[in-house]
Amino acid sequence: MLNSEYLKNLNKSQKEAVMSLDGPLLIVAGAGSGKTKVLTSRIANIIKSKKAFPNQILAVTFTNKAAKEMQTRVSQILGSSAVGLSWLGTFHSICVKILRKHAPAVNLNSNFTIVDNDDQIRLIKNICKAENIDIKQLAPRFILALIDKWKNKGFYPNEVIVDNKDIYEKNILPIYKIYQQKLNELNTCDFGDLILHAVKILEKFEDIRDIYSKNFKYILVDEYQDTNFIQSRWLNLLTEKNNNICCVGDDDQSIYSWRGAEIKNFLEFDKTYKDTKIIRLEENYRSTQNILSVASNLISYNQNRVGKTLKATMEDGDLVKLNCFKNVKDEATGISDEIEKISKRFKLNNTAILVRAIFQTREFEERFLKIGIPYRILGGTKFYERAEIKDCVAYLRLIYQEKDDLAFERIVNNPKRSIGESTIKIIYEYSKKNSSCLEVSSRKMIEKNLIKPKAKVGLSIFLNLLSKWRNDLKIKKMNHVKLLQTILDESGYSANLKNKKDIENESRLENIKELLNAMKDFDNLEGFLEHVSLATSIDQDWDGEKVNMMTMHAAKGLEFDVVFLPGWEEGLFPHQKSIEEKGQSGLEEERRLAYVGITRAKKLAVISFSMNRFYQGDWIDSMASRFIDELPEKYLEKNSFFPDSNEQIDDFDFNQDIETNDTIRSPGWIRYQKKLK
């Protein structure tokens, strides 16, 4: 029997989860309910009770960090008895071990290598070049994303059934076939192969499947709500002999469908594994009751969920704050003021701003730099350090000052103009020899016919555009915002982002739109460039007390004393694209994301939205997110600016200096008008 020491500090539900060893078990572990403690105690119990040896336990996590933490905790409980947990690790690390032993079964040698992302991109580029495929139209990253999607669904190239209506699938499948053949020839795998190959081996060879399914007497899986099809299939095959599988997770925190995660794995667990026992961990050790009540009420609007009710183990705490602001600038000011106000109660390191989209950090970064609040970006880059922003700024710098060689180097071949590194090198050498800047040197070398024909054409076009844009700025007195829009259009930079199918391009375009918004705050180009120089001169210093900024996706698994959740407006959150592409399931995932955001807060949560947002060059009327209507009033504290239910949005005092375009309306505004009718 389990020594009482192992049960120390476990509540009733946690004890039940630790002690229930036989048969399939689904542990529905709410946010902050101590799931890691349960998993580690359960492993300790299995070993201590002599139900299995350490090497007969398969414990799977999603990250190396989680695996290491689990190993450490078990070792702290069992000491030397924990030695031998050789099958504790990530999905990928465990599949590598299986694949090394049985590599010939999938036409590989046991010494196969694993390619990283850069090698994958290089291989795809080579294939595209050989097959005369234009990577400007079909980006290698997008190709790899679709290949990875097929692998997550369990498909080798010959098993893919193409949707004939999807032109991308039709064009990429032949690439997938060549790509997979090349990987085999090189005796290598990508990360998708590791699980796919392992599954195919288990499916095809019954004797191999018997070895592992007999050996693994107990299987434990962390964050089960994040599993995809192939991971679920792998687990299913390994439970064939011993049906002792325990999966821990929270369906209300399933927010990674865009990465292939399938929530139905969690929701249909009891259908996949007969006689499943479900235990709910509902005691929360992280947040106050008011925070949990707000989060629980919100998530209850989702239909596809197992269901649970979180209860706090601490006091009710502060009410959740709900703030309405006139515009985004006011929102950033209001949040910074609130941070300064509560700084004696809460340290900056324990304060976080969680946004739906990464472009939203810009307004807060500007405000924090202005008033001197230190901050860090987690899981991302500071706004003015993002590649697409640096590209835009480089164009503007070069137009403003032709001697800016660094800017010239950055954008002379961006987008591609057939100006390779060898051409740039000879321009640089000429520049050094003649003590002239790169742009002047380029013009002279073209005059003297010192550039190869293909590069000469591209370089000539680029230099002509620079002259035209300088004329726009200095002679035509074009506004600096309009100037950047013109540059992006005429250089082909915008078209390159829009046309090239790349999973990251949507975010890049949003950042550029936000840059255009930022430029409106400055009277001229000189003032804006000076501001950028000052903003980028401050290094990303990770030490010391700093406010944490990140997306809600990046915040999963983290916790903070204080959490600010700005931008709760229709179209932004829930994100319009998510609803358009996935309908009800997309809306429910957005609501789960809101739930994750709120439950990161331990002591204080502050939700906010603005009534006006500058979007794509115009001020638009925003509407509060539908999620705000789903927050229970009794647990909320609203600011004084919050509109009365009978108050018309038109009563807000707009800045009269700003030109508005009445033809542009947010999705929320449209919904609001329908509501009025």
Instruction: Render pLDDT for 403-418 as a digit per residue (tens, 0 to 9).
Output: 999 999 999 999 989 8
The answer to whether the bond into 374 is cis (omega within 30° of 0) is: no
Contacts of 481 (CB under 8 A, 6+ apart): 516, 519, 520, 617
| pLDDT band with cut points at 50, 70 and 90 for residue 621 | confident
| pLDDT band with cut points at 50, 70 and 90 for residue 488 | very high
Between CA 109 and CA 105 the distance in angstroms is 9
Determine the residue type at 455: A
What's the burial of 130, exposed, middle or buried (CB within 10 Å: 0-12/13-18/19+)?
Answer: exposed
Determine the residue type at 36: T
Q: Strand 618-621 and strand 601-615: pairing?
A: antiparallel
In the block, which residue shows the tokens 């989060």? 295
Contacts of 223 (CB under 8 A, 6+ apart): 61, 62, 66, 248, 249
Between CA 577 and CA 586 the distance in angstroms is 9
Comparing CA positions, the residue from 307, 276, 310, 305 lying closest to residue 293 is: 310
Mean pLDDT of 464-475: 94
Q: What angle do CA 374, 379, 384 make, to 5 degrees?
A: 60
Least confident among 101-115, 330-344, 631-645: 631-645
pLDDT score of 531 = 87
pLDDT score of 503 = 64
- Whether the Cβ atoms of residue 512 and residue 389 lie closer than 8 Å to each other: yes
- The SS3 call for residue 471 is helix
Which listed residue (193, 223, 251, 252) is catalytic? 223
| pLDDT band with cut points at 50, 70 and 90 for residue 647 | very low
Contacts of 160 (CB under 8 A, 6+ apart): 150, 169, 173, 176
Q: Tokens in use for 116?
A: 């990283």
* 552-589: pLDDT as tens digits: 999 998 999 999 999 999 999 999 888 988 899 999 99
Examine the pLDDT at 34 and tell me if it is beyond 50: yes
* 263-274: pLDDT as tens digits: 999 999 999 999
253 annotated active-site? yes
- Whether the Cβ atoms of residue 321 and residue 642 lie closer than 8 Å to each other: no
Examine the pLDDT at 599 and tell me if it is beyond 80: yes
Examine the pLDDT at 667 and tell me if it is beyond 50: no
Polymer length of the chain: 677
pLDDT score of 653 = 35
Examine the pLDDT at 421 and tell me if it is beyond 80: yes
| pLDDT band with cut points at 50, 70 and 90 for residue 540 | low
Which listed residue (308, 356, 600, 603) is catalytic? 600
Examine the pLDDT at 25 and tell me if it is beyond 90: yes
- The SS3 call for residue 300 is coil
What's the burial of 354, exposed, middle or buried (CB within 10 Å: 0-12/13-18/19+)?
Answer: buried
Q: What is the CB-side half-sphere exposure of residue 503 using CA atoms within 13 A?
A: 11
* Long-range pairs for 259-264: beta carbons < 8 A, 24 or more residues apart: 259/228, 260/148, 260/149, 260/152, 260/228, 260/229, 261/225, 261/226, 261/227, 261/228, 262/227, 262/228, 262/229, 262/232, 263/225, 263/304, 263/589
Helix (H) or strand (E) holding 339: helix 328-341
According to DSSP, residue 319 is labeled: P
Q: Can you give 211-255 as a three-state secondary structure string?
A: HHHHHCCEEEECCHHHCCHHHHHHHHHHCCCCCCEEEEECHHHCC
Which listed residue (148, 193, 222, 363) is catalytic? 222
Q: Tokens in use for 511?
A: 């950042």
* 333-375: pLDDT as tens digits: 999 999 999 999 999 999 999 999 999 999 999 999 889 899 9
pLDDT score of 496 = 86
- Residue 27 φ/ψ, nearest 5 degrees: -100, 110
Q: Tokens in use for 238?
A: 């390994």
Mean pLDDT of 33-50: 91
Examine the pLDDT at 504 and tell me if it is beyond 90: no
Between CA 431 and CA 445 the distance in angstroms is 10
Q: Tokens in use for 595?
A: 């739930």
Which listed residue (40, 90, 180, 253) is catalytic? 253
* Phi-psi domain of 673 (left: phi exceeds 0; alpha: psi -120 through 50; beta: other): alpha
Q: What angle do CA 246, 248, 254 make, to 5 degrees?
A: 140
* 515-532: pLDDT as tens digits: 998 898 888 999 999 888
Q: State the chain's mean pLDDT as an integer.
A: 88
397 annotated active-site? no
The DSSP-derived string for 489-537 is HHSSHHHHHHHSB-TTHHHHHHHHHHHHHHHTTSSSHHHHHHHHHHHHT
* 289-340: pLDDT as tens digits: 999 999 999 999 999 999 888 899 989 999 999 999 999 999 999 999 999 9
According to DSSP, residue 640 is labeled: T
Q: Tokens in use for 305?
A: 């969920």
Comparing CA positions, the residue from 504, 535, 547 lying closest to residue 390 is: 535
151 annotated active-site? no
Sign of the torsion angle spanned by Cα atoms 457, 462, 467, 471: positive
**Burial per residue of 531-553, b for 16 or more beta-carbon CB atoms within 10 angstroms, e otherwise:** bbeebeeeeeeeeeebbbbbbbb
Between CA 626 and CA 621 the distance in angstroms is 15
The answer to whether the bond into 104 is cis (omega within 30° of 0) is: no
Comparing CA positions, the residue from 211, 223, 210, 216 lying closest to residue 85 is: 216
pLDDT score of 67 = 87
Between CA 333 and CA 344 the distance in angstroms is 19
Angle subtended by helix axes 140-152 and 229-238, to nearest 10: 30
pLDDT score of 73 = 85
Which listed residue (36, 272, 381, 576) is catalytic? 36
- Whether the Cβ atoms of residue 252 and residue 595 lie closer than 8 Å to each other: yes
Q: Tokens in use for 38?
A: 């349960």
